């Protein structure tokens, strides 16, 4: 099973010492998987994380979609992972409304960035994701389209589900059903959603995520893509209302490692 390292837990902007969204999945193989490449991917240079990945021979990055808080870290890769191979799994139609190569090249090209992805110094592959399943580092990885402006892609790897940048609905309940670890966006409360409908567009309400987790018989829920307005105290205060024996909520601050156990 994996260890999950929270590299970046925030959505939109870094705050409260939290980077924007990126999660490292580590097992006993010689490869690692990173879910999304927000500013949090910069933690690959931090000593504790570097110690975990130093023996790994390939980096697999799976993007959920192309909003900047999920992809800006791609421009850090020449400094973070300069010599070893990279495989970038980038969502394509039907999961998002854009072609993968067009989206990646829009960011990683002048004038926004001086070095196109194809010119990165190491061996690299850009793999558009359009099928419902792929094998990555020996794992069967499944995908589903989520409701978000421009599209977003839900990801399931073994018993880990990754759902971000979507409003909660029944369309993906079968996709996450029975998973051991659900990494799910927590963006705002119902009260906050009433106060600011625009802020809620295409994002997840805390109470809805809790109800969905119960229905899907999820065993552990890890809040991700956190509201940048929430301090750690506010986050924990909001989560405390929902601790129960139905499933376990695991708050994950930046830098925290979660050992997955069945």
**pLDDT (tens digit per residue) in 170-185:** 899 999 999 999 999 9
pLDDT in tens, 92-137: 999 999 999 999 999 999 999 999 999 999 999 999 999 999 999 9
Distance (Å) of CA 215 to CA 138, 244, 245, 247: 30, 14, 14, 11
pLDDT of residue 223: 96
Residues 6+ apart with CB under 8 A from 211: 168
Residues in the chain: 262
pLDDT at 244: 72
**Whole-angstrom distance, CA of residue 127 vs CA of residue 146:** 20
What DSSP assignment string belongs to the chain? --EEEEEE-BSSS-BTTBPBSEEEEE-SSSEEEEE--SGGGGGGGSHHHHHHHTT--EEEEE-S---HHHHGGGGGHHHHSSSS-EEEEEE-TTTSSS-HHHHHHHHSSTTT-SS-GGG-SS-EEEEEE-SSEEEETTEEEEEEEE-STT-EEEEEETTEEEE-SS---GGGHHHHTT-SEEEEE--B-HHHHHH-HHHHTT--BHHHHHHHHHHTT-SEEEEESB-TT--HHHHHHHHHTT--SSSEE----TT-EEE---
pLDDT along the chain (262 residues), means of 10: 95 96 97 98 96 96 98 97 97 97 96 94 96 96 96 96 94 96 95 79 91 94 95 90 83 91 72
Q: Global pTM? A: 0.96
What pLDDT is recorded for position 159? 93
CATH class of domain segment(s) 3-259:
alpha beta
Residue-level pLDDT at 245 = 75
């Amino acid at each position: 099973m994996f260890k999950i390292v929270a590299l970046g837990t925030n959505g939109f902007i870094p705050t409260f010492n939290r980077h924007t969204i990126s999660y490292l999945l580590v097992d006993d193989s010689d490869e690692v998987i990173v879910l999304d490449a927000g500013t949090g991917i910069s933690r690959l240079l931090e000593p504790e994380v570097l110690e975990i990945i130093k023996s790994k021979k390939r980096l697999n990055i799976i993007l959920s979609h192309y909003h900047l808080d999920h992809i800006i870290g791609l421009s850090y890769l020449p400094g973070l992972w300069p010599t070893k191979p990279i495989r970038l799994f980038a969502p394509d139609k039907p999961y998002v409304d854009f072609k993968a190569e067009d989206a990646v090249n829009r960011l990683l090209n002048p004038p926004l960035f001086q070095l196109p992805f194809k010119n990165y110094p190491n061996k690299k592959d850009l793999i558009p994701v359009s099928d419902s399943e792929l094998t990555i580092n020996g794992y069967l990885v499944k995908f589903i389209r989520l409701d978000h402006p421009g599209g977003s892609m839900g990801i399931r790897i073994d018993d880990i589900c990754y759902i971000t940048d979507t409003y909660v609905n029944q369309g993906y309940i079968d996709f996450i059903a029975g998973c051991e670890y659900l990494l799910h966006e927590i963006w705002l409360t119902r009260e906050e959603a009433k106060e600011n409908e625009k802020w809620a567009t295409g994002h997840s309400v805390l109470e809805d995520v809790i109800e969905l987790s119960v229905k899907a018989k999820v065993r552990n829920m890890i809040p991700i893509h956190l509201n940048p307005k929430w301090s750690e105290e506010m986050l924990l205060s909001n989560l405390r209302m929902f601790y129960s024996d139905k499933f376990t909520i695991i708050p994950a601050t930046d830098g925290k490692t979660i050992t997955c156990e069945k």
